[in-house]
Structures are given as C-alpha cells and as structure tokens.
Amino acid sequence: MVQVTNIGVLVSGRGSNLQSIIDSINRKEINAKITVVISDVEDAYALERARKHDIPAVFVNPKGKDREKLDEEIAETLREHNADLIVLAGYMRILGKDFVRKHYGRVMNIHPALLPSFPGLHAQKQAFEYGVKVSGCTVHFVDAEVDHGPVIIQKAVPVLEDDTEETLAKRILEEEHKSYPEAIRLYTEGRLKIVGRKVAVRK
C-alpha cells in the first residue's frame, strides 16, 4: 500500500488555495492527508475552512515573539501532527533560515507571478503596473531567500488589453488552484528531485 503523505499547511488569510488542496484530496487526486492547519492570524478564514473539514486548526500567536521563537512553535506543532510536507498557502511571514535549512525540500510555496519576476508582496499589482503581456503563478520549494527557491511548476496567464489588477489577479488565482494540487501530487508520488536550482520531475 502506498504511504499517505501528511501535510501541514501554514496560512494567514482566507485560504482559497487551502480549499483547492482539500478538494483535490477529497477527490482522491492526491494521496495525502492534511493533519494540521496553522495560522498566525486568529480569525483567518482559512482556520474555519479547516474546521469545516474536521482538520485540526491551530492559531500560533506571534505577539511578543521573535521570528526564531515563532518558528520553533510552528515546527513543534508540525511535529506533533506528523507533517511530512509543509505547504505555505498565503502565509504572510518569512520563515527563518534555520527553519528552512532543517526542512529544506519539504516546504512549498506558491507565488502569484512568474518568478524570478515580481517577488514579494502585491505581485499581481507589480506585474500589471509594469505592463507585462504575460504573468502567471509559480510553485516552488522554499529556500533562505524570499520567493527564490527551485521552481516546481509555472503557469502562464496572458494579460488582456481590458484587464484590471483585479481581473488579472482573479485569473492568476484560478491557475494557482490547479498548480498547487498538481505540485503536491508530484511530491506525494516521489517524482520531484532538487538538482541545484532546478527541480527534475521523474516520469
């Protein structure tokens, strides 16, 4: 029997990417189980999504803690729930270098732009204001730099003449909802291998 991958998801907001992952698991497209959802925001709607699906939802209060202390608390919560893969789904804090080093190759993030273009916050706005003709999203492994780790999947989204920042962001999000479950599925199937800056996808 193929082993089920336990996933811990870190969130800060509404959790639409979390929902896409939950739905893919429920459709049996991914051989995985979300064992915990952790948020640094107490009233994040993503925590409510988790509770609706009987997934443990944990608020880790960042108040009065430095990055190292907060990371330690998150790491301990992930260990308690036996998380094999750590998925950042709209988690708005930067993980410390020590956390990333200890978990390298087991932490994924999704970014609403075609990295290395437009890293950081408000990527859709950056792309729209720059005037690019193509934008998109990137799923990547996390390393010690922001929005920098080896790329797993990228999906292109054309920028239309009548687009606004909002309509572009909406179409990028639709691709995110497809790309993240796909990347997680490849991981659970043991098909991803990091080779330097590249991710090789085994057949």
Strands 151-158 and 134-141, sheet pairing: antiparallel
Listed residues 103, 124, 155: the one ending a domain = 103
Q: What is the pLDDT of residues 186-201, one digit of tens each?
A: 999 999 999 999 999 9
Residue 170 has pLDDT above 70, yes or no: yes
Q: Which amino acid is at 159?
A: V
- Of 53, 81, 103, 111, which residue is the catalytic one? 111
Distance set, CA 44 to CA 31, 37, 82, 119, 129 (Å)? 26, 11, 23, 23, 29
The verdict on 120 and 94 lying in the same domain is no
The verdict on 114 and 99 lying in the same domain is no
For the chain, the average pLDDT equals 96
The verdict on 68 and 118 lying in the same domain is no
Nearest to 55 by CA among 34, 40, 74: 34
The verdict on 128 and 186 lying in the same domain is yes
Q: What domain count does the chain have?
A: 2
Tell me, yes or no, if 177 is annotated catalytic.
no
Strand order in the sheet with 107-111: 57-59, 32-39, 5-11, 85-88, 107-111, 134-141, 151-158, 198-201, 192-195
Instruction: Categorize the per-residue pLDDT at 3 as very low, low, confident or very high, splitting at 50, 70 and 90.
Output: confident
The enclosing domain of 62 has a CATH number of 3.40.50.170
Rounded to two decimals, the pTM is 0.96
Q: What is the pLDDT of residues 62-105, one digit of tens each?
A: 999 999 999 999 999 999 999 999 999 999 999 999 999 999 99
Helices (H), the chain: 16-26, 45-52, 67-80, 97-103, 123-130, 165-188
Query: Measured on CA atoms in the order 177, 178, 181, 183, is the torsion positive or negative?
Result: negative
Q: Which amino acid is at 22?
A: I
Listed residues 58, 85, 103: the one ending a domain = 103
The verdict on 21 and 57 lying in the same domain is yes
The verdict on 195 and 146 lying in the same domain is yes
The verdict on 38 and 126 lying in the same domain is no
Query: Whole domain around residue 192: which residue ranges?
Result: 110-203
The verdict on 193 and 128 lying in the same domain is yes
